[in-house]
């Protein structure tokens, strides 16, 4: 396996991250953006190979995982960057409603701790444009989801990219 | 089909059930749960794979599910058809064309409602998702089987 394997996932992962950042695109793409990015990465990787051989499941899984990984890193980066410039995001915008709802249930200490934690993050975002906890939170979520969907995209994408039948 | 393939498929089905439980959680947990930290994390996790638009999502007991109708269909179809290997252990899709065909209803629905031919329908979205999810899971399972065939072949070569 050569170094050629890293470039297609990098390109496709970047593309997926850009698409998830554009408002409205997620409405059409839903959970299919990362698998489609993996499919693109598999096609690109296949182009880099000079011979017409089938991709192995192992290679497809690796490309899928890498695409998911790069998509997660880039989308976290874009999210952080946009928050840094705007000093706001969905989380900050919906916080007053969240607080109102939590207070209405009289949940005691559990709600107080959650509100304190969220207020801390929101205050950091509105004052400096950056919250380390929020960034870690976003990064972990992105890494979990994108890598799983990347692996699934790798398995299915291989079936489409390979010219011979799956059993061949 | 070897025993390891069966184990992997069961593990896959287990995680699929966990994922679906997460989607259904707002319907069965108290409404403040999604606002507390674990629920908030869960909500954010699903927001990464779905737009979660309330107008395009199902409500159970007055609570919005974590994903839209189309995504609900994909996971429901995936779950229902993940049980196929339990009853038909030797079944596997042989041709790629079914995967392409399963994408057509979803693509057509997106194109038609966004170009104004008809109004968005949750049930149509759910049905198109159901078709894609049902077929995709069979290809995922076929891929898992192929992985173990590859492993066996490479160990035979060595």
Reported as a single tens digit per residue, the pLDDT across B84-99 is 877 877 778 878 888 8
- The reported pLDDT for the residue numbered B150 is 84
Stretch B72-78: mean pLDDT: 95
**pTM over the 0.80 mark:** yes
Q: How far apart are the CA of A117 and the nearest CA of chain B, in angstroms?
A: 9
Is B135 an interface residue toward A (CB < 8 Å)? no
* Closest Cβ opposite residue B140 in set A113, A137, A155: A155
Nearest CA in chain A to B55: A27
Q: How large a percentage of chain A has pLDDT more than 90?
A: 41
Contact flag A26-B50 (C-beta cutoff 8 Å):
yes
Residue bearing the bigger pLDDT, B40 or B1: B40
- The reported pLDDT for the residue numbered B132 is 94
Q: What are phi and psi of B128, to 5 degrees?
A: -70, -35
Q: How far apart are the CA of B50 and the nearest CA of chain A, in angstroms?
A: 5
- The reported pLDDT for the residue numbered B128 is 95
Q: How far apart are the CA of B68 and the nearest CA of chain A, in angstroms?
A: 9
Nearest CA in chain A to B56: A27
Stretch A79-103: mean pLDDT: 83
Instruction: Report B:44-83 residues touching A (Cβ under 8 A).
Output: 44-45, 48-51, 53, 67-68, 70-71, 74
Residue bearing the bigger pLDDT, A29 or A100: A100
Q: How far apart are the CA of B147 and the nearest CA of chain A, in angstroms?
A: 5
- The reported pLDDT for the residue numbered B96 is 83
- The reported pLDDT for the residue numbered B48 is 84
Q: How large a percentage of chain B has pLDDT more than 90?
A: 43
Is B153 an interface residue toward A (CB < 8 Å)? no
Residue with tokens 């999502």: B57
Residue A67 has pLDDT above 70, yes or no: yes
Residue B46 has pLDDT above 70, yes or no: yes
Contact flag A159-B139 (C-beta cutoff 8 Å):
yes
Stretch B131-146: mean pLDDT: 91
Name beta bridge partners: B59. B64
Q: Please name the residue ranges forming H helices in chain A.
A: 7-21, 25-29, 33-48, 57-86, 90-104, 109-128, 132-161
Stretch A63-77: mean pLDDT: 94
Query: Quick one: pLDDT band at residue B109, thresholds 50, 70, 90?
Result: very high
**B155, B133, B151: which is closest to B5 by C-alpha?**
B151
Residue B80 has pLDDT above 50, yes or no: yes
Residue A10 has pLDDT above 90, yes or no: yes
Residue A64 has pLDDT above 90, yes or no: yes
Residue with tokens 């629905």: B109
* Closest Cβ opposite residue A159 in set B36, B48, B96: B96
Nearest CA in chain B to A57: B147
- The reported pLDDT for the residue numbered B101 is 93
Share the mean pLDDT of chain B: 86
Name which of A159, A160, A165 to mutate to probe chain B: the one with the most chain B Cβ atoms within 10 A of its Cβ: A159
- The reported pLDDT for the residue numbered A168 is 42
Contact by Cβ (8 Å): A105, B32: yes
Residue B141 has pLDDT above 70, yes or no: yes
Stretch B129-154: mean pLDDT: 89
Stretch B108-135: mean pLDDT: 93
- For A100-114, A152-166, B13-27, which range has the lowest pLDDT when averaged over its residues? A100-114
Span between the terminal Cα atoms of chain A, in Å: 21
Is B112 an interface residue toward A (CB < 8 Å)? no
Q: What are phi and psi of B59, to 5 degrees?
A: -115, 135
Is B143 an interface residue toward A (CB < 8 Å)? yes
- The reported pLDDT for the residue numbered B44 is 80
């Amino acid at each position: 396996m050569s170094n050629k394997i890293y470039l297609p996932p990098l390109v496709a992962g970047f593309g997926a991250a850009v698409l998830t950042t554009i408002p409205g695109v997620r409405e059409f793409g839903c959970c299919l953006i990362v698998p489609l990015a993996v499919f693109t990465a598999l096609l690109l990787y296949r182009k880099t190979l000079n011979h017409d051989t089938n991709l192995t499941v192992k290679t497809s899984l690796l490309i899928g995982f890498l695409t998911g990984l790069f998509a997660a890193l880039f989308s976290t980066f874009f999210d952080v960057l946009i928050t840094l410039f705007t000093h706001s995001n969905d989380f900050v915008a919906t916080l007053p409603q969240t607080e109102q709802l939590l207070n209405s249930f009289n949940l005691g200490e559990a709600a107080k701790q959650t509100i304190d934690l969220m207020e801390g993050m929101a205050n950091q975002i509105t004052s400096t444009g950056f919250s380390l906890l929020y960034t870690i939170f976003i990064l972990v979520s992105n890494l979990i989801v994108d890598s799983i969907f990347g692996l699934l995209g790798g398995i299915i994408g291989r079936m489409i990219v390979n010219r011979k039948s799956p059993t061949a | 089909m070897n025993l390891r393939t069966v184990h992997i498929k069961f593990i896959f089905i287990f995680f699929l059930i966990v994922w679906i439980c997460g989607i259904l959680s707002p319907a069965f947990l108290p409404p403040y749960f999604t606002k507390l930290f674990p629920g908030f994390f869960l909500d954010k996790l699903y927001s990464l794979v779905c737009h979660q638009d309330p107008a395009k999502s199902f409500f159970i007991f007055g609570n919005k599910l974590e994903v839209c109708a189309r995504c609900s269909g994909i996971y429901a179809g995936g779950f229902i058809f993940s049980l196929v290997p339990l009853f038909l252990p030797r079944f596997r899709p042989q041709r790629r064309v079914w995967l392409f065909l399963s994408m057509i209803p979803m693509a057509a629905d997106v194109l038609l409602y966004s170009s104004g031919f008809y109004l968005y329908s949750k049930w149509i979205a759910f049905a198109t998702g159901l078709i894609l999810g049902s077929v995709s899971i069979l290809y995922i399972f076929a891929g898992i089987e192929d992985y173990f065939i590859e492993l066996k072949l490479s160990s035979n070569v060595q």
